[in-house]
């Protein structure tokens, strides 16, 4: 690492999440973005110019052959995540891959094996572990002041066409189970213990996209806590994920980085972490783990069980 800064490449930089990572990294003194990569030269160069990044390249291979890159953040299509993560590790670089790690349990296991063999920092973007709202609840659980009895979660988008978070056409298909449910499956286990029971049903398949646009998931953890997750691409209203924690002492409702109690009274979470931005906090953990030579929160090892559960649910839905 030059000047003790971690030199980072962002792949998929012109996408909605690539730019969120670039926004977060701009606030991290220990990180320097040395190169951005995309599939098309024009938008990739435009992003490099906007964020003051010296180099813009096309494709992952053009990143991996560079000697000014210590670590790679992959904000690329789901279907590429496992293979690209393995390729980054094989090139001797640390990696953070956007959620999900893979779209099958077998691919997730293979990627963990590659990570453990490499000795490098290998992390998955399970952002809910880092949102100040969920961190606040996690801290209360860790202190023994709150125990989850039930989580009620709604993940809603209006996405009847294949568009991304910026409303632009997508070259790949997003997935309610392998992408959007992954956030809640991992968070529920993080807050309430290992998942021991899981059920799912889905609505009609979209005629063109071939995926279910509506889904319902039930989970139970080893502590006896339960979770009900409703997912839809058909909801014409506020989009995103809303979490209701019902516990033995309190009720909380988390909306991304914000938190209220069951009466909708705001809870100040500004003291929970150095930023109020979950993605910036995720990137801070990645950079810190590299500099300190330690396993990060949301390492592949820590989140692997989420993909076991998703694999079980996929078998049920089949």
- Spell out the residues 6+ positions from residue 85 whose beta carbon is closer than 8 angstroms to its own: 74, 95, 97, 101, 111, 114, 115, 122, 300
Strand order in the sheet with 214-221: 195-202, 214-221, 226-232, 148-156, 240-247, 251-255, 258-261
How far is Cα 27 from Cα 47, in angstroms, rounded to an integer? 17
| pTM (2 d.p.) | 0.93
Q: How is residue 234 annotated by DSSP? A: B
The confidence score (pLDDT) of residue 173 equals: 55
SS3 state of residue 164: coil
How sure is the predictor about 24, in pLDDT bands with cuts at 50, 70 and 90? Answer: very high
Instruction: Identify the residue whose tokens are 């806590």.
Output: 225
Locate the domains of the chain by residue range. 2-125+278-299, 131-272
How far is Cα 318 from Cα 222, in angstroms, rounded to an integer? 26
Which CATH class name applies to 2-125+278-299?
alpha beta
pLDDT tens digit string along 40-98? Answer: 999 999 999 999 999 999 999 999 999 999 999 999 999 999 999 999 999 999 999 99
Torsion sign over Cα 92, 94, 96, 101: positive
pLDDT tens digit string along 247-286? Answer: 999 999 999 899 999 999 999 999 999 999 999 999 999 9
The confidence score (pLDDT) of residue 161 equals: 61
Q: Does domain 131-272 have CATH number 3.30.360.10?
A: yes
The answer to whether 6 touches 262, Cβ cutoff 8 Å, is no
pLDDT tens digit string along 121-130? Answer: 999 999 999 9
């Amino acid at each position: 690492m030059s000047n003790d800064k971690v030199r980072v490449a962002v792949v998929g930089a012109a996408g909605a999440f690539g730019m969120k990572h670039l926004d977060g990294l701009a606030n991290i003194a220990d990180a320097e973005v040395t190169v951005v990569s995309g599939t098309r030269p024009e938008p990739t160069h435009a992003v490099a110019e906007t964020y003051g990044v010296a180099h813009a390249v096309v494709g992952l291979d053009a990143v991996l052959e560079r000697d000014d890159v210590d670590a790679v953040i992959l904000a690329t299509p789901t279907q590429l995540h496992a293979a690209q993560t393995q390729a980054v590790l094989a090139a001797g670089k640390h990696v953070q891959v956007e959620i999900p790690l893979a779209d099958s349990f077998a691919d997730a296991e293979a990627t963990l094996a590659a990570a453990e063999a490499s000795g490098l920092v290998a992390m998955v973007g399970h952002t809910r572990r880092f949102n100040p709202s969920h961190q606040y609840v996690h801290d209360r659980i860790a202190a023994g002041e709150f125990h989850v009895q039930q989580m009620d979660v709604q993940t809603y988008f209006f996405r009847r066409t294949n568009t991304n978070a910026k409303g632009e056409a997508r070259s790949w298909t997003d997935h309610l189970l392998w992408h959007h449910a992954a956030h809640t499956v991992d968070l529920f286990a993080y807050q309430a213990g290992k998942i021991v029971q899981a059920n799912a049903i889905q609505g009609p398949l979209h005629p063109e996209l071939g995926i279910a646009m509506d889904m319902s998931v039930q989970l139970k953890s080893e502590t006896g806590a339960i979770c009900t997750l409703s997912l839809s691409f058909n909801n014409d209203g506020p989009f995103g994920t809303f979490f209701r924690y019902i516990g033995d002492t309190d009720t909380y409702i988390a909306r991304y980085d914000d938190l209220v109690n069951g009466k909708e009274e705001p809870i100040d979470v500004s003291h929970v972490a150095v930023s109020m931005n979950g993605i910036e906090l995720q990137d801070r953990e990645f950079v810190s783990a590299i500099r300190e030579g330690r396993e990060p929160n949301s390492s592949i090892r820590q989140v692997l069980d989420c993909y076991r559960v998703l694999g079980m649910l996929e078998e049920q839905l089949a």
